[in-house]
Amino acid sequence: MKILAINSSPRKNRVSYTEMVMNLTIKGLREGGAEVDVVHLRDKKVKDCIGCFSCWTKTPGVCSLKDDMSKEIYPKWVAADLVIYATPLYHFLMTASMKRVIERTLPVATPTVAAQDGKSYHPLRHEHPSLMFISVAGFPDMWVFNELSNYGKNTFGDTYAGEIFMVSPTATQYPIFKDKTAEIFEAIIQGGRELAESKKITPETMESIHQLIGPQELVSSMFNLLSSSCIAEGVIPYEMDKKGIIPRARDIEEFLVFMQTKFEPDAFKEAKTLQFSFTGEHNGSCHLTIKDRKVTVGMGDAESPDFSLESPFDLWMDVMTKKADGVEMIKGGKCTLKGDESEFIDIMEKVFNWKKAIISQIQPEGLV
Ligand SMILES: Cc1cc2nc3c(=O)[nH]c(=O)nc-3n(C[C@H](O)[C@H](O)[C@H](O)COP(=O)(O)O)c2cc1C
């Protein structure tokens, strides 16, 4: 089985989520024995179709334009058994560069107009490969892929091999979702194995792939927190990750969102409850209970917390974002802690794990 995977994410340096999902699929394809060739459109020059119809009339089957499409991509496209169109979702469809490639596959069709079941079509010059979409989107709900999915089904008909979609992929980096992320990643790899075998993905595997990583509200809140932190720091999201800037909560609710998503389920053997009481502009308390690899949160006081920290809100956000030293603040009396001090510090380091550069987790080495 020969596969051509075309990636249209403009993002480089291992920061593209489309590429991440494509690479997981390729892992499965290769495990299933398929031969996979990858083309990154960001490195190619593909001109717009000029609508001359030379490929239909003067030079049947041959495009009049000379570029990477006619010289490299189209010959590979024709020779493949399956072509994967991997595209970030842009304005609810594919990127312009991917659409440009699809338009340039016109030479495969003949100019004749035929009809079947009341629908006109151009008979093909020769068989074309099965086609599928891989796509990734920012919003945390699956409906965003409706247009792309309909496009695939309507345009490619019986040759549409399936689709692999993922929403809010940034959530794959949050420790709290690591079990679900692993499950979805495995389903994507399985999808690749199935494609290698039969050029189709079973409905069960597709369902496992198309799960939400986390609750929409929590994912959106974390996204909003990341965006506001980028704006405050004057950086783009990639720089935020690269520079290790930690999102800064603007109020107690956001602090709880941050605490939840950074929660590391495997760091705890015993149940623990942490309470935070804040003073200053944002005053009030909140708590987190960590139990059986799960975290629950609430506003207000906990019944019997193992640790209770009192601090001005802004000061604790300085600590959380590494602008102030938490140990010094506690030892110097600027924050008051009830509970075992060294255990509390250990928990904060283990769970909130903020030292790790997030970017390194996006694309595990050696996937492709
Ligand atoms: C121009 C543009 C348009 C976008 N349109 C949508 C959209 O319609 N729906 C959506 O959920 N996300 C949208 N997004 C978010 C991207 O799909 C998301 O950032 C994705 O992770 C990008 O994939 P990449 O990391 O492979 O480049 C858009 C992003 C850009 C830059």
Q: Which atom of ligand 1 lies at the shortest distance from residue 15's CA?
A: 25
CA of 193 to the centre of ligand 1 (A): 27
What average pLDDT score do residues 173-184 get?
Answer: 90
DSSP string, 84-107: EEEEE-BTTB--HHHHHHHHTTGG
What average pLDDT score do residues 184-189 get?
Answer: 97
CA of 358 to the centre of ligand 1 (A): 20
Domain residues of the chain, as ranges? 2-214, 216-352
Class in CATH terms, 216-352: alpha beta
Residue 359 in this model has a pLDDT that exceeds 50: no
pLDDT given for residue 356 in this prediction: 41
Span 240-292, pLDDT tens digits: 877 778 889 999 999 999 888 887 777 778 889 999 999 999 999 999 998 88
145 versus 15: the higher-pLDDT residue is 145
Residue 175 in this model has a pLDDT that exceeds 90: no
113 versus 367: the higher-pLDDT residue is 113
Most confident of 28-32, 170-174, 288-292: 28-32
What average pLDDT score do residues 312-324 get?
Answer: 88
Provide the pLDDT confidence category of residue 352 given band limits of 50, 70 and 90.
Answer: low
CA of 76 to the centre of ligand 1 (A): 27
Residue 213 in this model has a pLDDT that exceeds 70: yes
Tell me yes or no: is domain 2-214 CATH 3.40.50.360: yes
pLDDT given for residue 244 in this prediction: 74
Q: Ligand 1 pocket, 229 CB below 6 A?
A: no
Residue 367 in this model has a pLDDT that exceeds 70: no
Q: Could you tell me the CA-to-CA distances from 268 to 221, 319, 335, 346, 348 in Å, in that order? A: 25, 22, 24, 11, 12
Q: Ligand 1 pocket, 88 CB below 6 A?
A: yes
Residue 110 in this model has a pLDDT that exceeds 90: yes
Pocket test for ligand 1, best of 18, 23, 38, 90 (most atoms within 8 A of CB): 90
13 versus 60: the higher-pLDDT residue is 60
Q: Ligand 1 pocket, 144 CB below 6 A?
A: yes
Rg, the chain, Cα only:
25
Residue 198 in this model has a pLDDT that exceeds 50: yes
pLDDT given for residue 10 in this prediction: 96
Residue 9 in this model has a pLDDT that exceeds 90: yes
Of 229-238, 314-323, 344-353, the poorest mean pLDDT is in 344-353
Tell the burial category of 217 from Cβ atoms under 10 Å away from its Cβ (0-12, 13-18, 19+). Answer: exposed
Report how far residue 129's alpha carbon sits from residue 150's, in angstroms, rounded to the nearest whole number. 19
Q: Ligand 1 pocket, 169 CB below 6 A?
A: yes
Q: Ligand 1 pocket, 18 CB below 6 A?
A: yes
Q: Which residue's CA is minimally distant from atom 4 of ligand 1?
A: 90
Residue 28 in this model has a pLDDT that exceeds 80: yes
Q: Ligand 1 pocket, 93 CB below 6 A?
A: no
328 versus 181: the higher-pLDDT residue is 181
Span 319-343, pLDDT tens digits: 888 788 888 888 899 999 999 988 8
H-run or E-run covering 320: helix 313-320
What's the whole-number average pLDDT of the chain? Answer: 91
What average pLDDT score do residues 228-246 get?
Answer: 85
Pocket test for ligand 1, best of 19, 89, 149 (most atoms within 8 A of CB): 89
Residue 211 in this model has a pLDDT that exceeds 60: yes
Q: Ligand 1 pocket, 137 CB below 6 A?
A: yes
Supply angle C-alpha 334, 338, 344, rounded to 5: 85
Q: 120 pairs with which residues across the strands?
A: 115
Q: Which residue's CA is minimally distant from atom 3 of ligand 1?
A: 90
What average pLDDT score do residues 295-311 get?
Answer: 95
pLDDT given for residue 353 in this prediction: 55
Residue 365 in this model has a pLDDT that exceeds 50: no
The alpha carbon dihedral of 295, 144, 357, 266 has a sign of: positive
Residue 363 in this model has a pLDDT that exceeds 50: no
